[in-house]
Amino acid sequence: MSASIEDVATLAGVSIATVSRSLRGLPDVAPTTRARVLAAARTLDYVASPFAARLASGRTATIGAIVPFVNRWFFGEVIAGAEGILREADYDLLLYNLDDVAGRERFFARMPVRKRVDGVLVISMLLADEELAALKALNVPLALVGNGAPGAHSVHIDDTAGARVAVDHLIGLGHRRIGLIGGRMDDPMRFTAAGDRHQGYLEALDAAAIPRNPDLEAIGYFTFDGGEEAMKSLLALPERPTAVFVESDEMAYGALRAIRREGLRIPQDIAVIGFDDHVTAELLDLSTVRQPVQEQGAKAARALLDAIADPSAQPRELVLPTELIVRNSTDPSVPPL
């Protein structure tokens, strides 16, 4: 096996306590002693066994990240953002991918994070009361990305405001008959974006004194196919909308396809704006509302580290700004790709 703290102590001619202190940069070690220890550690290529250190100190130097789907764009970005900050601080990132409702139940039934993390990062999940309670019972700081919860740190955008900006943009272009394509509010994974963005849509209409029209609101799955289906239903209306606000870019891609299949032109016949600024939104020339994704992960990780350093600190809520990105799918004056 590899070198242990004893080996280093022997080689440096000091006690293991001094090795421990030297290596961790604790005060009260003579500079020359420390140098000797560092040299010994280096020649033996020594690293402390994290498990022994964790057992002895009680600190795990690990963050658990709970994510619905690692393999979706948004979540991957958030994790990348968080990982960078954590790695820098020498924290490990333990990944829990829920995958579906069954996986989510399994996670909360078994609570595999117990006794193994100093903090928990929950990505884009609206937690049920019992779930929140279960996580709080871990007695470690909790940070949420995407929405807030009492007693937890949180980093998110203002979905409602973002949606309002998108719809205002359509109104500014002269549209009055504006459709909505959105996700179900009762999504099984309980994402909150759908509800909030729907709300923003309604507020924008109200502010412009455009009457609400439930016929123009098409709800479906928060996916490409869901968007396509929803758009089809709007196109089948006796009087179809001249513009649609779609609650996510992925749904918007489906909407674009439905519109093109119908032989209609974008944006002349129907203008489309999405939400997220997904990687391929630019490629598809889709107007959208950009949200900082990696940054949400990074900020949440930072919040956790701060909370671990100072457990008495109050939970903070951080709201990051969104940005309207105008492309050719809404504005014909923007040159197409």
List residues near its own copies by CB under 8 A.
2, 47-52, 54-55, 60, 69-73, 75-77, 79-80, 83-84, 87, 90, 92-97, 99, 111-112, 114-116, 224, 253-254, 257, 260-261, 280, 283, 294, 337
Any contact of residue 186 with DNA (CB under 7 A)?
no
Burial 195-211 (b: 16+ CB within 10 A, else e): bbbbbbbbbbbeeeeee
CA dihedral 30, 34, 35, 38 (to 10 degrees): 180
**Strand, helix or coil at 289?**
strand
When the beta carbons of 14 and 120 are compared against DNA, the nearer one is: 14
Q: Is 33 in the site for DNA (CB under 7 A)?
A: yes
Residue 260 touches which member of DNA, its own copies, none, C-beta under 5-8 Å by kind: its own copies
Q: Does 30 bind DNA (CB under 7 A)?
A: yes
Give me the least distance between CB of 163 and its own copies, in Å please.
23
Contact status: 14 vs DNA (CB under 7 A): yes
Copy the structure tokens of residue 211. Answer: 């009457």
The DSSP output letter for 247 is S
Question: SS3 for 92?
Answer: strand
Kindly identify the residues of this chain, within the stretch 105-124, that bind DNA according to CB under 7 A. Answer: none
Using the contact rule CB under 7 A, the part of the chain among 12-20, 219-227, 254-262, 291-299 near DNA is 12-20
User: What is the rounded distance in angstroms from the CA atom of residue 329 to the CA atom of residue 301?
Assistant: 35
Residue 199: C-alpha distances to residues 167, 212, 275, 279 (Å): 11, 12, 14, 25
* Residue placing its CB nearer to its own copies in the complex, 114 or 212: 114
Q: Binding of DNA at residue 17 (CB under 7 A)? A: yes
- Check residue 6 for interaction with DNA (CB under 7 A): yes
Closer to DNA by CB, 17 or 319: give it: 17
DSSP string, 13-80: TS-HHHHHHHHTT-SS--HHHHHHHHHHHHHHT----HHHHHHHHS---EEEEEES-TTSHHHHHHHH
Instruction: Name residue 179's amino acid.
Output: G
Sign of CA dihedral 261, 262, 266, 272: negative
Q: Does 28 bind DNA (CB under 7 A)?
A: yes
Taking the complex as a whole, the smallest distance from the CB of residue 157 to its own copies amounts, in Å, to 18
Closest separation in Å from C-beta 202 to its own copies: 29
Rule CB under 7 A: which residues touch DNA? 1, 4-6, 13-18, 20-21, 23-24, 27-30, 32-34, 46, 48-49, 52-53, 55-59
